[in-house]
């Protein structure tokens, strides 16, 4: 087995952007591994490290030499390589010259497809140490940095200025100049606790030396869990429970090298302000974790994570409390100012905010959404006027000072302001729920008015943006139309709402002024939603063919679509499924090739074979049984009845010639097959199943 060493690279920088740190670290590690593999250098495992001031990777068990490479190069065919006398032609001589060998040193490759000259050679591997600088440069160039910066007079670009570079291969320094810095073995510790350089003896000791001597926890995941544990313990010590948001936890982990927690308090009077506003101030501005009691009520306490182990924690605590106080005072000020005007009084202000240049203002959008929201609310058993009212007020909180300062509170503050304005609880709740679900896995609106408003708002956006031709392309989807479509589907399917999405799209389009949108906008959005349905079910592991069979019928109710797909998935397991799918495929092909028109119903007087009569009678009986099941959406039971037709269908095809010489009989049998096909199409096009 070849000799191996551990390989360490560390890029020491000024403070890296905290929200990007984890992604940069993972990308750096992956890129180094990719370039090692590309250069055919074996290794065991890569361990990434990331702190505010460094990106580093320790790759263990790296081979000291490239793998020996066997190469083959095919030359001209033998017929073209030698003349009639067996002498090499110009083609053979040129190929040998390009390989830097004589023709006699070339081999011959003979296969069933022909024979060629071939050059084979063994290339010894290069020393890994000689490849490491270019591997590092390649990995750094591949990092996903949207905007690189320069510093000083250096021509180099990186996410932040670079101050030192460590490259060790075992105990050997690999000399290189990376981003303007010469490599060495000296790393740096904590900026304040251990600012002096630290000389590393071996690559493998990197993490241990930093943590034991230099007040740095270099492993991101270890530091991440350390912060979580410290915050949880601190909250328990003050009689509460810390609410740990994963995004905030990642960001705080990216801001510290040596985490130390500090608990603090704020004045009880601030609890008169909605808790979400206080939490937004603590999280967004100060990166503090908030604390709740056993009833999930906000406590006037907070937990900060410091990067310094202070000799006087009380001074640090007082400092954190001092900087938080004006932040909370601002939130209280916004709250009091906003309460002086009702949401309804802000409606005209929406005329000054453009939703989209061609689609008008937020005021225009609110009016359009109101008509559709009222319709949906009525269909869901709520009051139409309440659905209209919720939509009219839905965007008014965007004009408040609180939401201007904290945009993430849109809808949330709308609920508080609506309750203060003595709007109904349903209208107020709809203010908050209109934006749900905000992302995949997010909670769905739980109330009828919230569902109605959320659906209506998203359909208005879909129809409008499609109507002006700004459809999503590739990764570009500035209006979040894919997310909007999936959200509508989730609300209807997972909320078990029996709504007709095509009917609602027509209503959304009708709410726009005449001639603003083309007539086909509604159909375009419906097709787009059907495609999102494919993705929705494929993510759940549903057979593609089951999805395709149902969507071929273009059902307009997402909930009905769900019932059909569940029914088809169960049908696939029935013994009759394969035979019926094959028969339907045969029927489809026969009807497709038929060059004559035929009536919707067969004429029984032309039946001249018992197999026709048997299938017709059994079909009529099954059709009568499944009619109420189809209305109820019980497609699984309906398909079980349809499966009972298998023997009659098989008997028909075994004994009846559809394309009879008598044109009248032939046309009648084609009409009969069409009736059979339509019977199954009431559920799905099972001819698309391959079982």
Euclidean distance between CA atoms 518 and 42, whole angstroms = 60
Determine which of 45-59, 160-174, 429-443, 646-660 has the lowest per-residue pLDDT on average.
Answer: 646-660
SS3 569: helix
Q: How far is C-alpha 443 from the geometric centre of its chain's CA atoms?
A: 16
Q: Per DSSP, what are the bridge partners of residue 169? A: 7, 172
SS3 475: coil
User: pLDDT-based confidence at 61, cuts 50/70/90?
Assistant: very high
CB atoms within 10 A of CB 54: 23
Show the tokens assigned to 674: 């069409």
Query: Does the structure show a pLDDT above 90 at 181?
Result: yes
Query: Does the structure show a pLDDT above 80 at 595?
Result: no
Show the tokens assigned to 178: 């990376």
pLDDT of residue 109: 85
For 576-600, what is the mean pLDDT? 84
pLDDT tens digit string along 538-575? Answer: 999 999 999 999 999 999 999 999 999 999 999 898 88
92 vs 352, residue with greater confidence: 352
For 190-214, what is the mean pLDDT? 95
Nearest to 667 by CA among 606, 608, 588, 612: 606
SS3 114: strand
Euclidean distance between CA atoms 620 and 315, whole angstroms = 87
Show the tokens assigned to 452: 């109605």
For 407-411, what is the mean pLDDT? 96
Q: How far is CA 568 from CA 396, 620, 621, in A?
A: 45, 22, 21
For 507-521, what is the mean pLDDT? 93
Show the tokens assigned to 574: 């029935």
Q: Domains for the chain: give ranges and CATH numbers.
A: 4-66+127-213 (3.30.70.260), 69-123 (no CATH), 220-338 (no CATH), 345-541 (1.10.3210), 564-688 (1.10.730)
Contact 133, 176 (CB under 8 A): yes
pLDDT tens digit string along 78-92? Answer: 888 888 888 889 888
For 603-614, what is the mean pLDDT? 87
For 228-238, what is the mean pLDDT? 97
pLDDT tens digit string along 239-254? Answer: 999 999 999 999 999 9
Query: Does the structure show a pLDDT above 70 at 2?
Result: no
pLDDT of residue 627: 93
pLDDT of residue 114: 85
Transcribe 230-280 into DSSP letters.
HHHHHHHHTTSEE---HHHHHHHHTT-SS-EEEEEE--GGGGGS-HHHHHH
Going along 336-464, which residue ranges are E strands? Answer: 354-356, 360-361
Work out the mean pLDDT of the chain and round it to a whole number.
93
pLDDT of residue 113: 82
pLDDT of residue 389: 98
- Preceding omega of 437 cis (within 30 degrees of 0): yes
pLDDT of residue 612: 87
For 213-222, what is the mean pLDDT? 96
pLDDT of residue 104: 85
Q: How far is CA 371 from CA 363, 392, 481, 483, in A?
A: 13, 9, 21, 23
Q: What percent of the chain has pLDDT over 70?
A: 100
Contact 687, 678 (CB under 8 A): no
pLDDT tens digit string along 132-162? Answer: 999 999 999 999 998 899 988 888 899 999 9
Determine which of 95-104, 396-405, 454-463, 588-597 has the lowest per-residue pLDDT on average.
Answer: 588-597
For 629-645, what is the mean pLDDT? 91
User: pLDDT-based confidence at 1, cuts 50/70/90?
Assistant: very low
Q: In the Cβ-directed half-sphere of 113, how many Cα atoms lie within 13 Å? A: 0
pLDDT of residue 591: 87
Determine which of 302-311, 543-552, 651-660 has the lowest per-residue pLDDT on average.
Answer: 651-660
**Any idea how long the chain is?**
691
Terminal-to-terminal C-alpha distance of the chain:
50
């Amino acid at each position: 087995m070849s000799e191996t060493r551990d390989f360490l690279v560390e890029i020491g920088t000024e403070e890296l952007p905290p929200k990007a740190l984890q992604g940069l670290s993972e990308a750096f590690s992956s890129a180094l591994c990719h370039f090692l593999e590309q250069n055919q250098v074996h290794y065991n495992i890569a361990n990434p490290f990331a702190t505010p001031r460094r990106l580093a990777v320790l790759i263990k068990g790296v081979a000291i030499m490239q793998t020996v490479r066997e190469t083959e190069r095919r030359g001209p065919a033998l017929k073209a390589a030698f003349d009639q006398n067996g002498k090499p032609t110009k083609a053979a001589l040129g190929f040998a010259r390009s390989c830097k060998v004589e023709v006699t040193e070339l081999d011959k490759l003979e296969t069933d497809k022909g024979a060629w000259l071939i050059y084979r050679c063994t290339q010894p591997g290069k020393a890994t140490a000689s490849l490491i600088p270019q591997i590092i440069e390649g990995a750094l160039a591949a990092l996903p940095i949207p905007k690189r910066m320069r510093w000083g007079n250096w021509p180099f670009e990186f996410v932040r200025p670079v101050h030192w570079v460590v490259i060790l291969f075992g105990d050997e320094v690999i000399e290189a100049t990376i981003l303007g810095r010469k490599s060495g073995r000296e790393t740096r510790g904590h900026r304040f606790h251990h600012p002096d350089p630290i000389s590393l003896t071996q690559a493998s000791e990197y993490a241990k030396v930093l943590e034991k001597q230099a007040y740095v926890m270099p492993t991101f995941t270890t530091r991440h869990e350390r912060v979580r544990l410290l915050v949880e313990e601190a909250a328990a010590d003050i009689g509460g429970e810390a609410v740990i948001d994963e995004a905030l936890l990642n960001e705080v982990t990216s801001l510290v090298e040596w985490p130390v927690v500090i608990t603090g308090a704020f004045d009880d009077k601030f609890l008169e302000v909605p808790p979400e506003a206080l939490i937004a101030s603590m999280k967004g501005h100060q990166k503090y974790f908030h604390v709740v009691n056993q009833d999930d009520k906000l406590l006037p306490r907070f937990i900060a994570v410091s990067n310094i182990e202070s000799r006087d924690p009380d001074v640090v605590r007082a400092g954190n409390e001092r900087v938080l106080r004006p932040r909370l005072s601002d939130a209280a000020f916004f709250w009091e100012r906003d309460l002086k005007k009702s949401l309804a009084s802000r409606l005209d202000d929406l005329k000054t905010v453009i939703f989209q240049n061609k689609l008008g203002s937020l005021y225009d959008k609110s009016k359009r959404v109101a008509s559709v929201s009222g319709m949906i609310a009525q269909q869901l058993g709520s009051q139409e006027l309440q659905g209209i009212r919720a939509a009219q007020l839905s965007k008014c909180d965007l004009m408040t000072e609180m939401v201007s300062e904290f945009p993430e509170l849109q809808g949330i503050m709308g609920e508080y302001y609506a309750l203060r304005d003595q709007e109904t609880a349903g209208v107020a709740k709809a203010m908050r729920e209109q934006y749900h679900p905000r992302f995949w896995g997010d909670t769905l609106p739980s109330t009828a008015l919230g569902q109605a408003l959320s659906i209506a708002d998203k359909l208005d956006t879909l129809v409008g943006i499609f109507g002006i031709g700004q459809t999503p392309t590739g990764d570009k989807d500035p209006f979040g139309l894919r997310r909007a479509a999936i959200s509508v589907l989730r609300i209807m399917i997972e909320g078990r709402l029996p709504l007709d999405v095509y009917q609602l799209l027509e209503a959304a389009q009708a709410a726009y002024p005449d001639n603003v949108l083309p007539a086909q906008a509604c159909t375009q959005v419906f097709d787009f939603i059907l495609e999102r349905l494919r993705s929705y079910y494929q993510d759940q592991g549903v057979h593609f063919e089951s999805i395709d069979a149902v969507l071929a019928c273009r059902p307009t109710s997402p909930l009905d679509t769900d019932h059909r797909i569940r029914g088809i998935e169960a049908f696939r397991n029935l013994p009759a499924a394969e035979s019926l799918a094959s028969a339907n495929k045969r029927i489809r092909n026969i009807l497709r090739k038929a060059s004559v028109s035929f009536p919707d119903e067969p004429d029984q007087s032309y039946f001249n074979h018992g197999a026709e009569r048997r299938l017709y009678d059994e079909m009529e009986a099954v059709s009568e049984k499944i009619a109420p099941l189809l209305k109820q959406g019980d497609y699984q039971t309906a398909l079980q009845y349809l499966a009972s037709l298998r023997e009659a269908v098989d008997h028909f095809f075994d004994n009846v010639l559809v394309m009879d010489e008598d044109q009248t009989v032939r046309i009648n049998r084609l009409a009969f097959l069409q009736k059979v096909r339509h019977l199954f199409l009431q559920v799905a096009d099972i001819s698309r199943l391959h079982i």
